[in-house]
Amino acid sequence: MMSGRIRPIETREVTLQAPTIDETREQARGEVPEGWDLTDAAATMPKASTMITLNAKMARRDGVQEIEADDIASLRAKVPEGWQLLNVREV
């Protein structure tokens, strides 16, 4: 018997602007919903502008569930569309 942990795959991206990098980072942290993590934040300063533009990416990290099957192939087949298999163990 095999057991696996799965979670939904969902990402979001936001573009923020502020006068300083610290302010854009604070804005980005405020945009991240509970159960999500900020995964990437790339800052740029467009020409002829005093504003910082931050492209922030976040990914869902909650919703973890356990699934079971007789073998690894059956376990993988049980992973729903839009979910990912995080780990597998033999029970």
pLDDT for res 46: 86
pLDDT digits (tens, 9 = 90+) for 30-60: 999 999 999 999 999 988 889 999 999 999 9
Assess contact for 5 and 86: CB atoms under 8 A.
yes
pTM of the model: 0.76
For the chain, the domain total comes to 1
pLDDT digits (tens, 9 = 90+) for 24-36: 999 999 999 999 9
> Range of 40's domain?
2-90
